[in-house]
Amino acid sequence: MSRKFRLLLSLSTAVLLSLAWLGFPGWILFIALFPLLLLENFFVENPKEYRGVSFWGYSFLTFLVWNAITTWWIAYATLVGAILAIVVNSFLMSLVWWLGHTARRRFKSTLGYFALVVFWITFEYFHFHWDIEWPWLNLGNGFANNVKMVQWYEHTGILGGTLWVMAVNIILFSLVQQLVNRVEKRRIIISGTFLGLLVLAPVIYSNVIYNSYSEKENPLQVIIVQPNIDPYNEEFDVHAESRKMEKFIRLAETVADEQTDLIVGPETVFERYPDWNVDWLETNFLFRQLSNWILHYPRAEIIFGAS
């Protein structure tokens, strides 16, 4: 396998992964990892010519391009932050695949792929629970434009989608290997049947859930307040925050009444997020002002963001 072809495989996975985040159908993810798996297998089968770190370089390129294509917009807020987010997340992703590759070199069996899946899902899980959480590119999120396919997320969450994507790609790669190596026809039929069921069964079940769902009658009066705050150029000082609060309250009061159940504000209605630390709320005059105001609407709760 030439170096140019290895680079092509690396970039192919990056582009295919990106498409699912750019509005294309999520089923593209079922083949997105195939080029990277082919590349990884090449290094597994040639351990004398290439060290394990050789594969890491290609996997880092894959995830660097994927992260850059899908999360470049962070640069609108901070260029340095965007570069750090893209590079660090790409490094972590490639590190996970390198660990999986190391397991594959050692076991050269299904156990190696199992280790890769476990490592990746563990990584995605931590992306919800550590200080540098960034679950935007968790594989299960790639079906955001195809909600009818993943109604079963109500049981598994998006990590179930991640497992689905990885399992389909690995089994597809295994099936292609069997075809190329002309293994026993019976094994090919079994693998192909299992792959078909793995793809279709969740989709069928999901459509059953979607089409049989019946909305329960439980009406709420919800107010959505959009003060049209520019999170990139608005002032961050205390006086600016006070003006934002006044605007938020003024807009809400034009439609709120005693029957209001929920008032929803934007993600960036307030931007001095340390002031909204739960340990400091009692000293936050904006919080006290908001608490006093909401007393006029006994049924209402408020949801907004501080970033």
Asked if residue 192 and residue 227 are part of one domain, the reply reads no
Report pLDDT for 127.
Answer: 87
Give pLDDT tens digits for 229-247. 776 666 555 567 778 888 8
Asked if residue 180 and residue 267 are part of one domain, the reply reads no
**Which residue, of 156, 183, 212, is where some domain finishes?**
212
pLDDT at 38 over 70: yes
Asked if residue 145 and residue 29 are part of one domain, the reply reads yes
- Rounded Cα–Cα distance for residues 160 and 202 (Å): 11
Q: What are the residues facing 262 on neighbouring strands?
A: 222, 301
Give pLDDT tens digits for 4-32. 899 999 999 999 999 999 999 999 999 99
Give pLDDT tens digits for 40-53. 988 888 877 878 78
- Rounded Cα–Cα distance for residues 285 and 117 (Å): 48
Asked if residue 228 and residue 97 are part of one domain, the reply reads no
User: Once rounded to an integer, what is the mean pLDDT over residues 267-276?
Assistant: 68
Identify the weakest region by mean pLDDT among 199-203, 209-213, 218-222, 231-235. Answer: 231-235
For the record, the structure tokens of 186 come out as 């019976």
Segments forming the whole domain that contains residue 294: 222-303
Give pLDDT tens digits for 78-127. 889 899 999 999 999 999 999 999 988 888 778 888 999 999 999 999 88
Say if residue 275 is exposed, middle or buried (CB neighbours under 10 Å; 0-12, 13-18, 19+).
Answer: middle
Asked if residue 64 and residue 37 are part of one domain, the reply reads yes
Asked if residue 262 and residue 132 are part of one domain, the reply reads no
Give pLDDT tens digits for 159-208. 999 999 999 999 999 898 888 888 788 888 888 898 999 999 999 999 99
- Rounded Cα–Cα distance for residues 115 and 99 (Å): 8
> Coil, strand, or helix at residue 98?
helix
What's the one-letter identity of residue 193?
T
With residue 264 as reference, give the H or E element that holds it.
strand 262-264
